[in-house]
Chains A and B, each alone.
Chain A
Amino acid sequence: MTHPLLSVEALTMRFGGLTAVDALSFEARAGEITAVIGPNGAGKTTVFNCITGFYRPTEGALRLTHASGATYPLASMAGHLITRRAQVARTFQNIRLFAGMTVLENLLVAQHNTLMPNVANGLLAVFGLGGHRRAERAAIEKAKLWMEAIGLTDRADDPAGSLPYGDQRRLEIARAMCTDPVLLCLDEPAAGLNPRESDDLSSLLMRIRDGRDVAGRCSLLLIEHDMGVVMRISDHVVVLDHGRKISDGTPEQVRADPHVIAAYLGEGDEGDDAVTEAAL
């Protein structure tokens, strides 16, 4: 179960003269929750944008390996194909729901590729052809399961924009899960949540990892600032600072790592290079 799912190899991303991510390498294993942490501006979101196809990396390789053995070079794939073929889904730091569409509709849009394999099929459906009705029923069933998992069944027909913030966060995760991902990338899922809500979120993420009481299961990669959440749920933590990896290991190992403490307390900027080498 613990084969490497995503391997990041010497990933470098430059914007003009600024090197946001510098020769970063790490692995995320299947069936685990991998957390990427680091101070503000460490390049976490840039790494995410590279993995999910929003940026094209300057150098380096991103390889995703399915349980079937198929591998996908994420760095050279078109954005929507990363979700469609390689089955990597993501959520956003600032929630990006379809605010004017209902909770149910949001979950159905996520199943677009299952419902409409190609344009011709989509147009045939206008005349009731192409087995669309059956697919739609299955999609609604799946959406129902997810609404149950996040406790929003009662609000299925309400516009997503009218939900409380915490519910919107969970809905965005459910929507991403409706694309049947093998890897779900979460960009600060606990941001702006109160302690109770972040507890709910932690349990939801662990349920998704283990496939308990939810309609799907997948590995997770998350960026998070809430150390409580990170330490509680992560199996593996990668720490970035100034675009480089400074630590990598279990939550306990990382917590004890002097480099991490230094980075978070703003000490020891000199000797950064040596630190990186040592951490590797």
Chain B
Amino acid sequence: MLRDAAVSAVIAFGLFGAMIGLKTEVGVQTIELTPRPYLVLAAVVLVFFGRLALLAWKKSRPAGTPKRGRITAVANKAGRYLTPVVLVLTITLPFYAERYYVDLGVLVLTYVMLGWGLNIVVGLAGLLDLGYVAFYAVGAYSYALIAQNFGLGFWTCLPLAGILAAFWGVLLGFPVLRLRGDYLAIVTLAFGEIIRVVILNWTSLTGGPNGLSGIPRPTLFGLVFNSSGGEGSFAEFFGIEPNISQRGIFLFYVILGLALLTNWVSLRLRRLPLGRAWEALREDEIACRALGIDVTVTKLTAFAMGACFAGFAGAFFATRQAFISPESFTFIESAIVLAIVVLGGLGSQIGVALAAVVMIGGGELFRDFQEYRMLIFGGALVIMMVVRPRGLVSGRTPSVSLGDKRHISADMMTEGHG
């Protein structure tokens, strides 16, 4: 044990020696290196005792360690009661929370929606998509451009944005869906970048790096939200004080509705032949083909469906910000959404929602820690993968059953080979 801990300490010294031990200070003309031996010592000591504690904890556990299955069963049971609680807390949020938290809620819900959308592609159909943000971008720019050039409102553009994103999903899908696993991931990653680069360079249409501004805000049956009140505004119609936070609350309910729509459609699809075919595709593509299922069409529908919801989310993002630029659609966004899906548990709806709250909400709350934010984020990911490698809520419930539905543990499932 001591030896193991000592080895870890030596490795830590090697790693941290240069990184923490030396600080560069920029002078007027020179760059000076300041050694910081005490910090290195602290890090090494921390690693030494940390490793020691970890080993001691492992040893103290009885030989027959509790099975993963039991933890999963408890988590799933909790999940059943958790869902209504979370839903009620979310719906009533604007009534008890400050404006900051409502805005944060809008942000979190956007990612919940993206997560649920991507869950169709990755969790159900087992197609690893690293360029999901491309469809988010298509949705956002579709809304912005249609609204600015043709003067259509948010509610007219919303379905259009979804359809356009789905169209791009199909367009991308045709050539790449014969690829599997890693290769598919790389091509989708490239597609995400292509969309961003095109947006960045097609200055005449998209404004390039300057982005598009003055995107119209959404209205409630023609009632606008603004801080001055006046003719045709929400405040004037209901005879209340105009307040800018009303728009925030309205946006909150819009995205909540959109997210719940995503959830409803994907839950519903799971119980239908199409959704079952997606799951079968994730389990075994060759068997699907042998059963007469058109693998290409099935994959394309999963891609289009996922893209469609990303398009909705994109249109919402554009109307919320009133300004979009290519910077909002970088690879890191795809990575965050994918991390949410993987952390939450592939195919699990409540898991994805919780993961989005933790990742996005937690990220915002840790903003004070500045550069340590990413460190905490990375650490949390590593701990998650060690403790619950299949995500917060893993396994699946059968889509149909003769008796009572029993949960299927994740060990049975195969995934991500599409």
Give A residues with C-beta under 8 Å from B: 52-54, 79-84, 89-92, 96-102, 104-105, 108-110, 112-113, 115-116, 119, 122-123, 125-126, 132, 136, 140, 144, 156-159, 161-162, 175-176, 179
* B77 proximal to A (CB < 8 A): no
Task: Give the residues in chain B near A116, CB-CB below 8 Å.
Answer: 272-274, 277
What range describes how many residues of B lie at the interface?
35 or more
Binds A, one of B54-62, B246-254, B376-384, B403-411: B403-411
In contact, A113 and B292 (Cβ under 8 angstroms):
yes
Bound-state CA distance A90–B288 (Å) is 11
* B294 proximal to A (CB < 8 A): yes
Task: Give the residues in chain A near B404, CB-CB below 8 Å.
Answer: 157
Binary contact track B277-289/A, C-beta < 8 Å → 1, others 0: 1011001101111
Bound-state CA distance A104–B290 (Å) is 18
Q: How far is the CB of A18 from chain B (nearest CB, A)?
A: 22
In contact, B279 and A101 (Cβ under 8 angstroms):
yes
In contact, A100 and B408 (Cβ under 8 angstroms):
yes
In contact, B408 and A98 (Cβ under 8 angstroms):
no
Binary contact track B378-418/A, C-beta < 8 Å → 1, others 0: 00000000000000000010111111111010001110000
In contact, B272 and A98 (Cβ under 8 angstroms):
no
Q: How far is the CB of B405 from chain A (nearest CB, A)?
A: 7
Q: How far is the CB of B119 from chain A (nearest CB, A)?
A: 16
Which of A100, A159, A161 has the most CB atoms of chain B within a 10 A radius of its CB?
A100
In contact, B292 and A98 (Cβ under 8 angstroms):
no
In contact, A122 and B301 (Cβ under 8 angstroms):
yes
In contact, B287 and A112 (Cβ under 8 angstroms):
no
Task: Give the residues in chain B near A53, CB-CB below 8 Å.
Answer: 289
* B276 proximal to A (CB < 8 A): yes
The answer, among A96, A119, A126, A158, for a CB contact under 8 Å with B265, is A126
Bound-state CA distance A96–B286 (Å) is 8
Bound-state CA distance A126–B267 (Å) is 10
Bound-state CA distance A84–B293 (Å) is 8
Number of A-B residue pairs with CB-CB distance less than 8 Å in the complex they form: 134
The answer, among B287, B396, B401, B408, for a CB contact under 8 Å with A96, is B287
Task: Give the residues in chain A near B301, CB-CB below 8 Å.
Answer: 119, 122-123
In contact, B399 and A125 (Cβ under 8 angstroms):
no
The answer, among B280, B290, B295, B400, for a CB contact under 8 Å with A92, is B290
In contact, A101 and B280 (Cβ under 8 angstroms):
yes
Known A-B contacts A105-B398, A105-B400, A126-B265; A112 and B413 likewise in contact (beta carbons under 8 Å):
no
Task: Give the residues in chain B near A136, CB-CB below 8 Å.
Answer: 273, 400
In contact, A157 and B398 (Cβ under 8 angstroms):
yes
Known A-B contacts A83-B291, A84-B292, A132-B272; A104 and B408 likewise in contact (beta carbons under 8 Å):
no
Known A-B contacts A100-B414, A112-B277, A161-B412; A125 and B287 likewise in contact (beta carbons under 8 Å):
no
In contact, B399 and A105 (Cβ under 8 angstroms):
yes
In contact, B290 and A96 (Cβ under 8 angstroms):
yes
Please give me the residue from chain A that is nearest to B297 by CB atom.
A119
Q: Can you list 27 A-B contacts with CB-CB less than 8 angstroms, sorted by A residue number?
A: A79-B290, A80-B292, A80-B294, A81-B292, A82-B292, A89-B291, A92-B287, A96-B286, A97-B284, A101-B276, A101-B280, A101-B398, A101-B408, A102-B408, A105-B400, A110-B291, A112-B273, A113-B292, A116-B273, A122-B301, A126-B268, A132-B272, A136-B400, A156-B401, A157-B405, A158-B406, A175-B291
* B322 proximal to A (CB < 8 A): no
In contact, A89 and B290 (Cβ under 8 angstroms):
yes
Q: How far is the CB of A124 from chain B (nearest CB, A)?
A: 10
Known A-B contacts A105-B400, A109-B276, A119-B301; A179 and B292 likewise in contact (beta carbons under 8 Å):
yes
- By Cβ-Cβ distance, the 5 closest A-B pairs, closest first, are A83-B292, A100-B413, A98-B283, A116-B273, A84-B292
In contact, B403 and A113 (Cβ under 8 angstroms):
no
Task: Give the residues in chain A near B400, CB-CB below 8 Å.
Answer: 102, 104-105, 108, 136, 140
Known A-B contacts A108-B276, A126-B268, A156-B401; A99 and B292 likewise in contact (beta carbons under 8 Å):
no
Instruction: List 19 other contacts, CB 8 Å, given A80-B295, A115-B273, A157-B406.
Output: A80-B289, A80-B293, A90-B290, A91-B290, A96-B284, A96-B287, A98-B280, A100-B408, A101-B280, A108-B276, A109-B280, A113-B292, A123-B274, A140-B402, A144-B402, A157-B401, A157-B403, A159-B412, A161-B412
